[in-house]
Every structure is written in structure tokens, then in C-alpha cells.
């Protein structure tokens, strides 16, 4: 049940202090959040633009029962959409802008790490380990690497970017957005074919051509590295064009996993580390590495970061023996 404790108090306070139509805007904001709260992920895709982290985190901190990436990103989209509507209404009523600087200042400059969706569980475990030895506060933004790249290019105040593919990191490098000397490969992973746990007789990519397989979930190759590797593997296996009518495109690799878990897809291509997070699916095949490009997770500090010293220290921590043990626990291989 949504209550006013789930709302963003900083945003409401800002309205109350600065807006001549504060009562109307506050009422609209609460109504919008109430109406949209809990909407399924697939119905919120059109809202997927960057939401200022302090505002998002203020609400996320109040909803401790978030458990997966679709809920996490869905909540971000809800807040983004409602704030955009409120701001638009403010403009209609004759107000030029609202100043968010006071809200951002209240965040005490946390380190904002934008990381590929497949890193969700392991990075959440690593944050408190780092914070125990540092005064820094870590905030995460998990999504597909392509979506994160676009957010950074559009000016999102990200300190560290961890991609699941080289393509997205190279794009930022070409635009001179990375801090020199900080880019390197952090981890490697494996691509696997997964099916619902109760499925029998599925052992290879060739089984995907069978009539019983009606839907195959993959990440959208245009923005999801796991989808790019999947396309490469299926193309190399001579199956890409044949299977096209069966593809269900997902916005990130965790959504691929969710489709298979829920039975909305008969098979999917995800990372080994994703497959290990659930008992609802089983691995049908470890995809041979010669069928696709090497899977690497590059990491870098953003040039515009205002926390470059802390960002470099966090990257160094991710290469420590403590961090490597945690990565290994989730199935990643540290480089």
C-alpha cells in the first residue's frame, strides 16, 4: 500500500517553499504517484529517462521490499514521469523553473555508479563492504549498458560506469567523456542458454528450432550487450534468421531471465551469473566462447565526476582480494 512516506519529501518540500500554486502541485504529485505505483515494468518503458539520483534514492530508501531490477527501474520511471508532469504543470501555471540544487546538495555527494543490470546482486553486496572501510556512500543505477551510455551522454552526473560490453564504453571514450587512465576490464562472464526448470530434452541451441519452442527471450542487440552476444552466437550457429519469428526482445538481461522464469518464454540467452541467481530456470547449454566476442566488463571514471578521488579508490577496491572473492561467489571471473 502506498503512503505519503513513499513520496519524495525533498521534492514536496521544494514545491511548498517555492511554488505559488503549491497546494495544487502537491496534490497532483501525490495523485500521480498513487496512480502509477506498482505498474508492471513493460508498461513503463516509455518513461525510461534519467531521474536525478537524490530524488530517486529518497523514495527507493523508503521501499525496502524492492527485490529485482524490473521493480527497481520501474520505480525510477514512475518518479521521473511524475516529476516531469508536475514540472510541466508548473510551467503551464506560469512558473519558469524549480531549483533542484538544494535537493542535490542534501545528498552529501554520494558516489553514483551506473552498472550493467547483470551486476545488480554482486554490486549490492560489495557496497557495504566498501562503505565499512570508507566514508563514501555508494548509490547504484542498474540498467542495460546501452541505456546507461545514453544517460551519460545526456549529462547524467555519473561517477563510474561499468558496462557489460566494450561497444558502450568505446562510444563514451570517443566522445572524450572518460577520465584518462581509469579505463580497464574488470570482469569476464559466460553466455548460457536457459530454459524453465521443468523443461526436459533441451541441451543445445539446435533445440530452439523445435516446434515446442515458441518464444525465445534475448536482450535487444541494439542496446543490451547480452543480446549482442546472443545474436553473434546464433548467427555463427546458422540459426539467427531461422529463429527470428520466435524472438522476444528484452530491455536488459535480467528481464530476459524474468521472461523465462515466468514461463513467458520457452528459452533465453543470459549470462552464467544471471542463471545462478534463481532456481526457476536451468542451464541447457554453456555457449561455446568461439561463437561470440569475448564477454568483458570494462570500468572507467567519468571525466565530469566531482568525486574522482573516491571513484578511483572504489575501482581499486573492486580489484582487491575481498572483492574478487565476492565476484567469484556470483560466477564472475576477475581480470
Domains 109-186+296-334 and 191-291 share a fold: yes
Tens of pLDDT along 247-257? 999 999 999 99
Name, in order, each residue with C-beta under 8 angstroms of 154's C-beta and a sequence gap of 6 or more: 49, 50
At residue 79 the predicted structure's pLDDT band, cuts being 50, 70 and 90, is low
Q: How confident is the model at residue 81 (pLDDT cuts 50, 70, 90)?
A: low
Residue 50 pLDDT more than 80?
no
Question: Rounded mean pLDDT of the chain?
Answer: 79
* CA distance linking residue 248 with residue 269, whole number of Å: 11
- The 10s digit of each residue's pLDDT in 84-135 is 555 555 444 443 333 433 333 333 579 999 999 999 999 999 999 999 999 8
pLDDT of amino acid 72: 40
Instruction: Write out the three cell numbers for 166.
Output: 566494450
- Give mean pLDDT, residues 61-71: 37
pTM: 0.66
Element at 187 (helix H, strand E): strand 184-188
Q: What is the pLDDT of residue 10?
A: 44
pLDDT of amino acid 59: 39
109-186+296-334, CATH topology level:
D-Maltodextrin-Binding Protein; domain 2 (3.40.190)
Q: What is the pLDDT of residue 109?
A: 77
pLDDT for 143: 94
- 49 or 131: whose pLDDT is higher? 131
Residue 41 has pLDDT above 90, yes or no: no
Identify the residue with better confidence: 3 or 149: 149
Lookup: cell for 116 = 550493467
Q: Which of 1, 33, 122 is nearest to 69 (CA)?
A: 122
Q: Give 134's contacts (C-beta < 8 A, 6+ positions apart).
A: 310, 313, 314, 317
| Average pLDDT of span 271-300 | 97
Res. 80 pLDDT band, cuts 50 70 90: low
pLDDT of residue 65: 33
- Tell me if 309 sits within 8 A of 302, measured CB to CB: no
The domain ranges of the chain are: 4-101, 109-186+296-334, 191-291
Grid-cell match 530452439, residue found: 208
Label residue 27 by pLDDT band (50, 70, 90): low
- Contact criterion met (CB below 8 Å) for 298 and 231: no
Backbone phi, then psi, for 279, in 5-degree steps? -100, 0
pLDDT at position 44 over 70: no
How many distinct helices (H) and strands (E) make up the chain?
14, 11
Going by pLDDT thresholds of 50, 70 and 90, the confidence category of residue 327 is very high
DSSP helix/strand/coil, 13: helix
**Model confidence over 200-238: pLDDT tens digits?**
999 999 999 999 999 999 999 999 999 999 999 999 999
Fold designation for 191-291: D-Maltodextrin-Binding Protein; domain 2 (3.40.190)
Q: Tens of pLDDT along 157-168?
A: 999 999 999 999
- Using 50, 70 and 90 to split pLDDT, how confident is the model at 71? very low
Amino acid at each position: 500500500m502506498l503512503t505519503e512516506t513513499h513520496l519524495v519529501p525533498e521534492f514536496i518540500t521544494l514545491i511548498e517553499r517555492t511554488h505559488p500554486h503549491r497546494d495544487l502541485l502537491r496534490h497532483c504529485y501525490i495523485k500521480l504517484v498513487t496512480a502509477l505505483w506498482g505498474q508492471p515494468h513493460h508498461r513503463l518503458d516509455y518513461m525510461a529517462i534519467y531521474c536525478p539520483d537524490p530524488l530517486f534514492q529518497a523514495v527507493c530508501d523508503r521501499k525496502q521490499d524492492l527485490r529485482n531490477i524490473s521493480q527497481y527501474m520501474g520505480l525510477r520511471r514512475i518518479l521521473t514521469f511524475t516529476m516531469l508532469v508536475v514540472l510541466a504543470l508548473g510551467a503551464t501555471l506560469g512558473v519558469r523553473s524549480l531549483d533542484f540544487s538544494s535537493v542535490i546538495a542534501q545528498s552529501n555527494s554520494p558516489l553514483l555508479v551506473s552498472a550493467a543490470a547483470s551486476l545488480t546482486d554482486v554490486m549490492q553486496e560489495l557496497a557495504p563492504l566498501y562503505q565499512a572501510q570508507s566514508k563514501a556512500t555508494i548509490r547504484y543505477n542498474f540498467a542495460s549498458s546501452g541505456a546507461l551510455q545514453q544517460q551519460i551522454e545526456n549529462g547524467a552526473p555519473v561517477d563510474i560506469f561499468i558496462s557489460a560490453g566494450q561497444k558502450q564504453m568505446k562510444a563514451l571514450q570517443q566522445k572524450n567523456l572518460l577520465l584518462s587512465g581509469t579505463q580497464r576490464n574488470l570482469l569476464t562472464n559466460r553466455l548460457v542458454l536457459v530454459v524453465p526448470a521443468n523443461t526436459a530434452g533441451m541441451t543445445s541451441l539446435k533445440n530452439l528450432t523445435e516446434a515446442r519452442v515458441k518464444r525465445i527471450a534475448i536482450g535487444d542487440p541494439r542496446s543490451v550487450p547480452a543480446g549482442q552476444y546472443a545474436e553473434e552466437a546464433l548467427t555463427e550457429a546458422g540459426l539467427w534468421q531461422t529463429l527470428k519469428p520466435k524472438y522476444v526482445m528484452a530491455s536488459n538481461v535480467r528481464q530476459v531471465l524474468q521472461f523465462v522464469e515466468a514461463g513467458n518464454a520457452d528459452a533465453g540467452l543470459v549470462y552464467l551469473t544471471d542463471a545462478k541467481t534463481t532456481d526457476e530456470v536451468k542451464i541447457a547449454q554453456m555457449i561455446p566462447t568461439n561463437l561470440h566476442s569475448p564477454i568483458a566488463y570494462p570500468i572507467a571514471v567519468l571525466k565530469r565526476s566531482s568525486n574522482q578521488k573516491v571513484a578511483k579508490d572504489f575501482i581499486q577496491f573492486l580489484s582487491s582480494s575481498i572483492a574478487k572473492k565476492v565476484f567469484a561467489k556470483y560466477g564472475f571471473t576477475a581480470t
